[in-house]
Amino acid sequence: MLRLDCPVCGLRDHDEFTYLEDGSITYPKLTNENQDDWFDAVYLRENPRGRHVEKWHHTFGCRTVLLVERDTLTHVIGKIKPAHPKIAAALKQPATAKKRS
Amino acid sequence: MSRYSAWQIVKQGLTGNKSWEPAWRDASPKSSYDVIIIGGGGHGLATAYYLAKNHGITNVAVIEKGWIGGGNAGRNTTIVRSNYFMEGNTEFYEHSLKLWENLSQELNYNVMFSQRGHLNLFFTPGQRDAMIRKYNIMRLNGIDGELLDRDQLMSKVPHLNYSQEARLPILGALYQGRAGTARHDAVNWGYARAASNLGVDIIQNCEVTGFISNGGQLVGVETSRGEIRAEKVGMAVAGSTSLLAHKAGLGRLPIESHKLQAFVSEPIKPFLDSVVVYGVGHGHFYISQSDKGGMVFGGNLDGYNSYAQKGNLPLYTDVASCAMNMMPALGRVKLLRQWAGIMDMSMDGSPFITKTDINGLYLNAGWCYGGFKATPASGWCFAHTIAHDAPHDVNKLLTLDRYKTGHMLDESGHGPYPKSH
Amino acid sequence: MTGSRFASGGLIDRKKPITFQYDGMRVQGFAGDTIASALMASGHQIVGRSFKYHRPRGINSAGPEESGALFTVGDNANRTPNVKGTIAEIHDGLIVRSQNAFPNVRYDVGAVNGLIAPFLTAGFYYKTFVGPFSGTRFWMMFEYFIRKAAGLGVASRDADPATYDIAHHHCDILVVGAGPSGLWTAVQLAEAGQSVMLVEQDFACGGQLLSRNNARDAAFIAEMQSRLTRAGGRIMVRTTAFGLYDGLVTGLVERVTDHLSAPHESLPREIFHIVRPQQIVLASGALERGLAFGNNDRPGVMLAHAVARYAGRFGVSAGQSCIMATSHDGTYDDALQLAEAGMQICVLDARPCHTDAQEAAKRVGLDILFETVPVQVAGGRGVAGLEVGMCDSDGVVHSDNRMIGADVVGMSGGYSPVVNLLSHRGVKPVWDADIQAFRTGPTTEAIQVVGSADGFYDNEACLASADVAVSHILRPRRRDAETDIFRGWQTPAMPLFEINIQGRSLKSFIDPQHDVTTADIRQAHSEGFVSVEHMKRYTTLGMATDQGRMGNILGLATMAEARNMPIAESGITTFRPPFTPVSIGVLAGRSSGADWWPTRRTPMHDTHLSAGAAMMDAGYWKRAWYYPQNGETMDDAYIREAAIVRQTVGMVDVSTLGKIAIQGPDATEFLNQIYINAFAKLPVGKARYGIMLRDDGHVMDDGTTWRLSDDEYFMTTTTAQAGPVMLFLEELLQTRMTNLEVHVSSVSDYWAGIAVAGPLARQVLTGALPALDWSNDAFPFMGVQSAELNLGGAVIPFRAARISFSGERAWEIYVPADFGNVVWAHLAEHVALAGGSPYGMEALGTLRIEKGHVTGAELDGRVTLEDAGFARMASKTKPYIGSVLRKRPGLMDEARPSLVGIFPKDRSKQFGTGAILCEPGAVSGFGKGWITAVTHSPAFGHWIGLGFVSGGYDAWHDKTVMIADPVRGVTIEGEIVSPHMFDPEGGRQNG
């Protein structure tokens, strides 16, 4: 069981989450009409053995999309933060009470 | 090397089994070969065999970083079938099934391919109709397949969960009688022995650390046992494809490595003749009984990128509940061993057997969790592609650029999400 | 050997006799006995048969390493095969059967296999049974008999009636194993304030201490247990830690009822505990291993310590006279204990006399033969004596044909620490020459290994190692200097694995269950299967139900010797979970039968049932399929229901549709980006049909989205895609579209949905929901309105949109879920008065097929906008998800199959979904298209279908198509028509 420390909900089993995809993918802007750029983002993967930043969605929790650093060989979990920069910033503010359960 | 036969066994038995020869030569690398196959799994060994057998190319090395057959070739649930419906897959897997049917004779090695039949259960009319479309395509391509209603299924496998109280009562199944199971290790060893007999060097404990190019042309590989030159290099390293592709300069591929768990129970007396499979909603399950008596089964991927050959608990529960749902008599049968393999998950669930953009480099990859059944045809087609520098008709659609042109082979319809196939 | 019960002693309760059945015989034991100890005490010697040669097998251990004493326990549906008799406790009425033998283990006809054993050596089946002709028939003929001979116990084919549970735990420390080290560690940590769980696979705590049965040990165990409990620790016996997983999550299985004769019906048979500890202490002990010598598989040959354990713990004498063959000091305690109990003991020690333990034993008069090793057991069905040989300092053995009388042989080649659980974490075991065993390698995880699990065999050393672990846990910053606690015994063990004599061919077993001998290992070596993994797979060593505990090291040593390299170099195979076999049932917990999946019911579920509806499964949902009247078949019912909708009015439960509230200043822009069509100009009070694509340009979902205000929308999705669409929208907003101020929330469960459709729908709604004006002017097609219904004093808000899936004049009405039933009943009254009726999914299917409206059957994840006929809806002026990749050449190919309607040429003919559309004369290959939906249309009076065909209607409108369905055995001629088969102008829905 991977144990993910959700910045909103606390330490939880990974089966509360939905694995989305490689978090390093940069999707082109919608206005970008270049097929190769889209092909790159949608189809090609670095697929590293080792450090991997990936997107997980806390489906049976706060429904936040998280960027999780994880080693694909050892499954050791590193830093976890919300993918949305504003949510990440809001959680960083000391005034925001962090709820753990 | 001497042929295996009942007579050989008797002769050896009477003389104390003391003069058996090695099944294959454990070779040390020469400085150069015509063709190097990276990866001593089933696909790599089969490729070497067919290069020698079908194309007369015998100056071939198979190089393996560990021991042959130690990857997915020796970790799968051994199911062989050809129930595919997309042009490109159908003819490929049927070609494979036909090779399977005479593989033991061809290799003079009993790979124990047992055509005990493959049942794909359905629970809703919609599921049935989608499966009938697939089996109709098979039938129109000369492949066997039939529809069994609930009563017909019951007479074949009486101890499935036919209760109307089941969460999803079983309505029937689609059946492929020529499908079945084989002994995975035997396939690897059989190809290794037959290839070695034809002059192929099988080199174990030899890891590829780099590729040697000369003006855009690949000319060899660097390994933990020194540099080895070759005119052509074929990669058949499913699970680690991306890692080697980066070294070779192929860049990023449409592949993710994912973990698939497999399970085997303690041996019990004959309990299940056919392979039984179902997929409905999030439930996915396949089971057969090995000749030794163990129930061999598995289900979904763990669902996140991984190179770790070890499992995690949520899948235990997932797979066990699928087992109990379908065959509730399994409750007291005990799980003996669980393991995991790393799958090359491609973006449409279908494989690649193809030339690459690098001259002299050929790719065999993206097997998702269907690689075992493909072993003979994969080797056969890859050998052809390497020998002729062009694909055979049977693998011409299994290209790497099919996503770029929009010619996906998406049997499941899940789209470019590798964990979903 | 004939075992018997000592007159006194043991941890059994002699005042509580227990009677059970063994192969139809009555056997008596006592509370505290295992099946194995009770059978041994009753003189049963042959209790099993081996896998391949069907050689007789006796009890060879006293724990989970057992490979011989396997039984089938229980009856009928409660029958459990392959139960280890050395673990299973007895209770009154227990039914035990021997297995893998006919007619029974004592006289087994399968033993003829032994006669042809020379031909059945490692891998023989790979070399034969191929047959003289092509194909697989020859092999399958032999396979039939091989399968019958293989397998061990017989599993029941009836559903397992037991219940199982899953429980979840958190704790500071999980201690695995309640031997002295585990107990001592757990007590200290608990008393220091840590929350501790201590699990023990046995039914009693104490580990090796239980074998001695002396008062001091008993007092220690009792004190530890009571201190641990007082300190708030939890002790769980009959609980096996079977696997260690990521994040230190540990799987345990607790056996709850198998040892009870009349368990309370509320108890589950077993519980699967999932523990999430902060730290783990492995006190899992060490397992003794045997020696390889001739006929070492005979009943009566067992592990040396097991002989002592049966005596000390169970008060059972394994026989009259016992030879203890060993290569280390550890066996002397056992030998002395047995001699004291009154057994005639002779120790064979492979070493010369030079250690303190040897001297001490000699002093008290123990009969010891130094530099002596076992060579070959005499006797077929048991031990009649043992041929011994002299072993020189190089390990070379010479036999002088000396025979020693005995009926039991205890053997010990040393102990192997149980490294399995750390091996699950990918920690490679390392060879420790001092103890002649693999120990666990270093780990970076918060796992401590203590006691004999880490090679500390002396009791004081075990406790000292526990102290070190406790200190590491409680004071992690303070690193104690490397301790000088010694591993193993005072004198290092002598490496002794196989006894070989020049020129003699001994049958020396290393895996007695699978009949793997040292000769098999050597054959594997000569055939090139030299990697330990190849050896394991080729000989099947280590794949038996003892998971290699009995013989793995002997096999590795034999291979290392053949390869002329140290064991440390030849390596060890990987241990896989589970540690001991685990029921499949307990892993599933309660998720089986009717509870396999969640069941989702709409608010009107019970109403449909009381109306006699047949229900169907749609994902997790149960939906009303059709409402049969007066014994109608499904076909009768749906055709009637569909006809009523076209003639008068019908109503259908659409609560399962996904419903998403989309709110915020950028809601419109968001919709513009995710839908292919423009939403910017959609006025408040209007709905629009929208289609969204995946990134790869294939259709993901369709549905209507209603504009409720400037910055609020109500989106509906298909039932199947409700979850995925919601997830995708959230992902987009939190990753790629973070500049948009939009909030989405799933409101699927908050609203019950009812569609009212048919020419009389307006009349019905005007009567039933008078708060709104339902006229065409006030409520045009795609209009959206909200109002309230005053029903018996209750004020029920609702929202409605004029949307039509059926092609009729129709509205979808949404009310808060709690009011679904009353509003349904209210509307149903009005519908009935107008001559209408409810309709189910099957009729809904008919109506939509007639109209050419698509569902999941068509939008199967491979379909493009062009394929489904939506291309004209796609905006050319704005980008949207999927707009670029949908233009790839393969997806824009004009030859791609596109949506059409299909009629049978002979209108009386029926055809089926999944049929393939082919050109006449070319009914083969992949065809030109396929059929996605078929129904009997009341509007047309014949079977019609939807499907996709290459080139679409334009290419086929004047041609015959073959509808090929070889699976159903039907091929007929058909014609391609427009998919909009019924009322293509839409007059009925717009009027």
Euclidean distance between CA atoms C986 and C984, whole angstroms: 5
Q: Are residues C663 and C626 in the same domain?
A: no
Q: Can you give the CATH number for the domain in which C331 is found?
A: 3.50.50.60
Euclidean distance between CA atoms C131 and C150, whole angstroms: 21
Q: Are residues C1 and C100 in the same domain?
A: yes
For residue C583, the cross-strand partners are B334
Q: What are the φ and ψ backbone dihedral angles of A55, each rounded to 5 degrees?
A: -100, 125
Coil, strand or helix at B304: strand
Q: Are residues C719 and C662 in the same domain?
A: yes
Read off the amino acid at residue A11.
Answer: L
* Strand segments (E) across B306-369: 334-346, 352-355, 361-365
Q: Are residues C649 and C666 in the same domain?
A: no
Q: Are residues C185 and C246 in the same domain?
A: yes
SS (H, E, C) C713-771: EEEEECCCCHHHHHHHHHHHHHHHCCCCCCEEEECHHHEEEEEEECCCHHHHHHHHCCC
Euclidean distance between CA atoms C522 and C562, whole angstroms: 7
Euclidean distance between CA atoms A45 and A33, whole angstroms: 21
Cis check for the bond before C103: say yes or no (omega within 30 of 0). yes
- Residues belonging to chain C with any Cβ–Cβ distance to chain A shorter than 8 Å: 245-247, 249, 274, 276, 426, 673, 695-696, 727, 730-731, 733-736, 738, 879-881, 883-885, 887-888
Q: Tens digits of per-residue pLDDT, B122-155?
A: 999 999 999 999 999 999 999 999 999 999 999 9
b (16+ CB within 10 A) / e for C443-458: eebebbbbbbbbbbbb
pLDDT of residue C481: 54
Euclidean distance between CA atoms C865 and C331, whole angstroms: 79
Euclidean distance between CA atoms B376 and B354, whole angstroms: 16
SS (H, E, C) C884-895: CHHHCHHHHCCC
Euclidean distance between CA atoms C806 and C937, whole angstroms: 13
The DSSP H or E segment spanning B221 is strand B217-223
> C487 and C414 in contact (C-beta within 8 Å)?
no
* Number of structural domains in chain C: 7
Is residue C673 in a domain?
yes
Angle at C214 between CA C210 and CA C215, to 5 degrees: 115
On whether any CB of chain C is under 8 Å from the CB of B262, the answer is no
Q: Tens digits of per-residue pLDDT, C528-561?
A: 999 999 999 999 998 888 888 878 899 999 999 9
- Cβ of A30 within 8 Å of Cβ of C696? The answer is no
In this structure, the strands spanning C301-303 and C408-412 are: parallel
What is the average per-residue pLDDT within B169-185?
A: 97
Domain boundary among C723, C749, C775: C749
In A, which residues are within 8 Å of B419 by CB distance? Answer: 19
- Cβ of C589 within 8 Å of Cβ of B321? The answer is yes
Q: Are residues C364 and C460 in the same domain?
A: no
Is residue C466 in a domain?
yes
Q: What are the distances in angstroms from CA C373 to CA C346, C378, C494, C519? A: 12, 15, 12, 19
The DSSP H or E segment spanning B315 is helix B313-326
Neighbours of C530 (CB within 10 A): 21
Is residue C310 in a domain?
no
- Cβ of C547 within 8 Å of Cβ of B336? The answer is yes
Helix and strand totals (H; E) in chain C: 26, 51
Euclidean distance between CA atoms C377 and C346, whole angstroms: 15
Q: Are residues C13 and C136 in the same domain?
A: yes
- Closest to C169 (Cα-Cα) out of C259, C280, C282: C280
- Cβ of A87 within 8 Å of Cβ of C734? The answer is yes
Q: What are the distances in angstroms from CA B225 to CA A60, B158, B219, B362, C407? A: 50, 55, 17, 22, 55
Position A101 pLDDT exceeds 60: no
Alpha-carbon Rg for chain A in angstroms? 15
Is residue A30 in a domain?
yes
Look at A11-20, B17-26, C216-225 and tell me which has the smallest mean pLDDT: B17-26
* Strand segments (E) across B306-360: 334-346, 352-355
Is residue A101 in a domain?
no
- Cβ of A30 within 8 Å of Cβ of C276? The answer is no
> C444 and C422 in contact (C-beta within 8 Å)?
no
Q: Tens digits of per-residue pLDDT, B282-336?
A: 899 999 999 999 999 999 999 999 999 888 999 999 999 999 999 999 999 999 9
* Chain B CA closest to residue A20: B304
Position A96 pLDDT exceeds 50: no
Euclidean distance between CA atoms C466 and C183, whole angstroms: 9
pLDDT of residue B98: 98
Spell out, as residue ranges, where chain C has pLDDT lower than 50: none
Chain A nearest CA to B309, separation (Å) = 8
Is residue A97 in a domain?
no
Q: Can you give the CATH number for the domain in which C618 is found?
A: 3.30.1360.120
b (16+ CB within 10 A) / e for C166-183: beebebbbbbbbbbbbbb
Q: Are residues C642 and C754 in the same domain?
A: yes
Euclidean distance between CA atoms C565 and C266, whole angstroms: 57
Is residue C524 in a domain?
yes
Chain A nearest CA to C124, separation (Å) = 38
Residues of chain B with pLDDT > 90: what percent? Answer: 93
Q: Can you give the CATH number for the domain in which A18 is found?
A: 3.30.2270.10
DSSP result, C101-118 = -SB-SSSBGGGGGGGGGG
On whether any CB of chain C is under 8 Å from the CB of B4, the answer is yes
Q: Can you give the CATH number for the domain in which C558 is found?
A: 1.10.10.1100
pLDDT of residue B412: 94
User: Global pTM?
Assistant: 0.96
Neighbours of C107 (CB within 10 A): 12
- Cβ of C593 within 8 Å of Cβ of B407? The answer is no
Mutation target to probe the B interface, by most B beta carbons within 10 A, among A3, A47, A75, A77 is A47
- Cβ of B132 within 8 Å of Cβ of C914? The answer is yes
Q: Tens digits of per-residue pLDDT, C101-137?
A: 888 888 888 888 888 888 888 889 999 998 888 899 9
Q: Are residues C113 and C133 in the same domain?
A: yes
b (16+ CB within 10 A) / e for C265-286: eeebbbbbbbbbbebbbbbbbb
Can you list the alpha helix ranges (DSSP code H) found in C751-852?
761-768, 820-833, 841-851
Of C245, C727, C879, the CB nearest to A30: C879
Read off the amino acid at residue C970.
Answer: V
- Closest to B161 (Cα-Cα) out of B376, B324, B41, B399: B324
Question: Residue C969 gets which letter from DSSP?
Answer: T
Enter the tokens of residue C287.
């397992």
For residue C244, the cross-strand partners are C250
Q: Can you give the CATH number for the domain in which C914 is found?
A: 2.40.30.110
Euclidean distance between CA atoms C890 and C894, whole angstroms: 9
Can you list the alpha helix ranges (DSSP code H) found in B18-168?
42-55, 90-101, 103-107, 125-140, 150-156
Is residue C92 in a domain?
yes
Is residue C860 in a domain?
no
Chain A nearest CA to B304, separation (Å) = 6
Position A97 pLDDT exceeds 60: no
Domain coverage including residue C547: 497-570
* Chain B CA closest to residue C594: B167
In A, which residues are within 8 Å of C881 by CB distance? Answer: 30
Q: Can you give the CATH number for the domain in which C14 is found?
A: 3.10.20.440
Q: Tens digits of per-residue pLDDT, C500-536?
A: 998 899 999 999 999 999 999 999 999 999 999 999 9
Neighbours of B412 (CB within 10 A): 15
> B309 and B232 in contact (C-beta within 8 Å)?
no
Domain coverage including residue A65: 3-92
- Closest to C901 (Cα-Cα) out of C865, C937, C859, C864: C937
Is residue C627 in a domain?
yes
- Closest to C188 (Cα-Cα) out of C532, C505, C475: C475
* Chain C CA closest to residue A34: C884
Q: Are residues C219 and C135 in the same domain?
A: no
Neighbours of C460 (CB within 10 A): 11
For residue B277, the cross-strand partners are B120, B286
* Number of structural domains in chain A: 1
Is residue A84 in a domain?
yes
In this structure, the strands spanning C650-653 and C837-838 are: parallel
Mutation target to probe the B interface, by most B beta carbons within 10 A, among A38, A43, A71 is A43
In C, which residues are within 8 Å of B149 by CB distance? Answer: none
The chains found to touch B (3+ Cβ pairs under 8 angstroms) are A, C
What is the average per-residue pLDDT within A59-71?
A: 98
CA C528 vs. chain centroid, Å, equals 35
* Chain B CA closest to residue C123: B186
Of A42, A45, A74, the CB nearest to B256: A45
- Cβ of B304 within 8 Å of Cβ of A47? The answer is no
Chain A nearest CA to B230, separation (Å) = 27
Enter the tokens of residue C599.
């069941």
Euclidean distance between CA atoms B205 and C391, whole angstroms: 37
- Cβ of B313 within 8 Å of Cβ of A1? The answer is yes
Angle at C530 between CA C528 and CA C533, to 5 degrees: 120
Is residue A100 in a domain?
no
